[in-house]
Structure 1
């Protein structure tokens, strides 16, 4: 009997998604109480990973009436041109925009997720990092809650674009803006943007 060459073995390294969550009222509101934190969870690659308040249809259920029943989803995919498993992110909420590394997504719009992404909806922030693997039928995710906003200390590298002029505001005041208030255009290949809360 022939064994398929594409069948996963116990030794196949799974692609991993590290998802770090933050909300400014997470200590008092308990919105992450339904999530399994701090351990790796295996997920079938053909099942979308959904985030929202509906515990029946969402893999990651948030206890918050301000969150849409289905807020967003992550879809795994592969391409003939590249090795590995990659992900798209889609906005499932009719109520609000989803911000991915500074790009706004309206209802049902989707975007290829880079290896490191800052995702925002409402007051929520998700830092998502992908570690490549070999397995084709599944991936794993690990959830953690951050004590401080990742936007105040995380620098996500993105392809260069026109520099943004320094506004002259102090760091704390700059948190009110949706776009970065300062840019270093001297870096040869990448620039860093600080993503801020709305």
Structure 2
């Protein structure tokens, strides 16, 4: 009995080049478990006709996680000059990231949405390509901020008692110095 193949459903969009960038994209591509190359070069399995794209821009690389049957995938950047945005992360040359079941990817103006539908076969996978006339990503650049949001702090001083810094508007909710916090009063940490 033949095992079902993992399917990558890949939607593609380019805001300025439109469908012309995707003339070499087949509707369906079955690939062995080697890396699937994306770029404008002759050896790329997914060839895109874009001048700013490297011959080997990125690869989708299948692998098997220990103790797991279906294939997993990572995306690896192969372009020295280009960067690739994946689910909020900006990747540079030779950086890679594991893909989740749904992924938003942007590079060289291309917007790509990759959905992974797991199968049991470890010998091949299938890519189904869809060309989208509409944008797939509405915020394709990663934010260059810290994970924690900056919240303005009230000034502290001897008249504040506890020395705790609290966000504006929350000072009324703090207990007075020496008072037990609700979690402490209930014996919780």
TM-score normalised to structure 1 length = 0.68
Q: Which secondary structure state, in structure 2, belongs to the residue aligned with residue 31 of structure 1?
A: helix
> Which residue matches 1:33?
23
Superposed displacement of residue 35, structure 1: 1.0
Superposed displacement of residue 89, structure 1: 0.4
> Which residue matches 2:129?
143
The gaps in structure 2 that reach 5 residues or longer are 140-146, 152-189
> Which residue matches 1:73?
59
Q: Which secondary structure state, in structure 1, belongs to the residue aligned with residue 137 of structure 2?
A: helix
User: 2: CA distance between counterparts of 1:65 and 1:33?
Assistant: 14
> Which residue matches 2:106?
120
Superposed displacement of residue 66, structure 1: 1.1
Alignment partner of 1:16 is 2:7: yes
The C-alpha deviation readout for 1:152-175, integer Å capped at 9, x for no partner, is 39xxxxxxx64699xxxxxxxxxx
> Which residue matches 1:193?
none
TM-score normalised to structure 2 length = 0.71
Count of aligned pairs between the two proteins: 144
Q: Which secondary structure state, in structure 1, belongs to the residue aligned with residue 22 of structure 2?
A: coil
Q: Among residues 54, 60, 82, which one is paired with 2:68 in the alignment?
A: 82
> Which residue matches 2:180?
none
Q: Among residues 25, 39, 55, which one is paired with 1:52 in the alignment?
A: 39
Tell which structure's C-alpha radius of gyration is larger: 2
Give structure 1 regions of 4+ aligned residues with deviation exceeding 3 angstroms.
161-165
The gaps in structure 1 that reach 5 residues or longer are 1-8, 154-160, 166-198
> Which residue matches 1:98?
84
User: 2: CA distance between counterparts of 1:150 and 1:65?
Assistant: 21
The C-alpha deviation readout for 1:127-183, integer Å capped at 9, x for no partner, is 001001011111111011111111139xxxxxxx64699xxxxxxxxxxxxxxxxxx
User: 1: CA distance between counterparts of 2:150 and 2:13?
Assistant: 27
Superposed displacement of residue 41, structure 1: 2.2
CA-based RMSD: 1.9
The C-alpha deviation readout for 1:96-123, integer Å capped at 9, x for no partner, is 2111001011101111111111011121
